[in-house]
Structure 1
């Protein structure tokens, strides 16, 4: 399976699960939405950044030269588009089921406005995570290449 398909499926599923959980919570605890919405957003962004950090570290370890690394921008763009369109379509279908309150949005809205928000929400933090991961890997590479020099005690000067 391609790397972006796995990422798009997992992150799209996470979006749908968080939207369903938020919809359920808003039906039964409507006054608690002021902290539930940001919590779901933070959980999603944290998962995306974490995965991006893993990608960036792995790529830098495989390709230590920054000029010859993998093109993770396109991988994350494909991931974002797949997650956005997939989560929008699945959310639209789940909204027809009883006990699922996902906003009663139409298919056109889910595949355009909602999907474009998810695309940006996945793409930008994903690339931020890739950058952080590459920086972390660069630091480890430079530390291992230049180990700190231990100071030697001064030898007593002996006349020859």
Structure 2
């Protein structure tokens, strides 16, 4: 499976799972909704940034030269779009099941406004994590920047 597809499926499933847990919790404790929403958002952000850090470190170790690294921007963008659209469609379908309270949003909302929020929620923290991971791996190597001259010229040249 493609790397972006794995991220899309797992992060989209995490979004749906957190929305489902939040829906059940809101039915049980309706006055505690604000901190429960923040807790779910924080859990999602920790997973996304953590995965981005792992990607960035792995890429910098594989490609020490910053100019030769993998294009993780497109990978995370594809994962974010597929994860956002997929989680919106699954959430809309799950909302029809009895005892599932996922907001009663229509399909148009879930595939446009809801999905765009999830796309940004996956893409931006993912790239922040990639940047942090590359920076950490670069610091572990030494000064963080590769040498400009691989083979210096002899002193008499």
> TM (normalized to structure 1)?
0.88
2:40 corresponds to 1:37: no
Residues 98-124 of structure 1, C-alpha deviation per residue, up to 9 Å, x if partnerless? Answer: 010001100000000000000000000
Counterpart for residue 148 of structure 1: none
1 CA distance for matches of 2:33 and 2:92?
21
- Counterpart secondary structure, 1:121: helix
Taking only aligned residues, the RMSD between alpha carbons, in angstroms, comes to: 0.7
Q: Unaligned stretches of 5+ in structure 2? A: 144-157
Q: Which runs of 4+ in 1 moved over 3 A?
A: none
1 CA distance for matches of 2:37 and 2:107?
22
Counterpart for residue 70 of structure 1: 70
Counterpart for residue 14 of structure 1: 14
Note the C-alpha offset of 1:73.
0.2
Note the C-alpha offset of 1:64.
0.2
Note the C-alpha offset of 1:26.
0.5
Note the C-alpha offset of 1:34.
1.7
Counterpart for residue 119 of structure 1: 119
Counterpart for residue 132 of structure 1: 132
- Counterpart secondary structure, 2:31: helix
> TM (normalized to structure 2)?
0.90
Counterpart for residue 23 of structure 1: 23
Counterpart for residue 56 of structure 2: 56
| Count of paired positions | 143
2 CA distance for matches of 1:101 and 1:135?
41
Counterpart for residue 153 of structure 2: none
2:2 corresponds to 1:2: yes
2 CA distance for matches of 1:75 and 1:106?
29
2 CA distance for matches of 1:58 and 1:141?
13
Counterpart for residue 94 of structure 1: 94
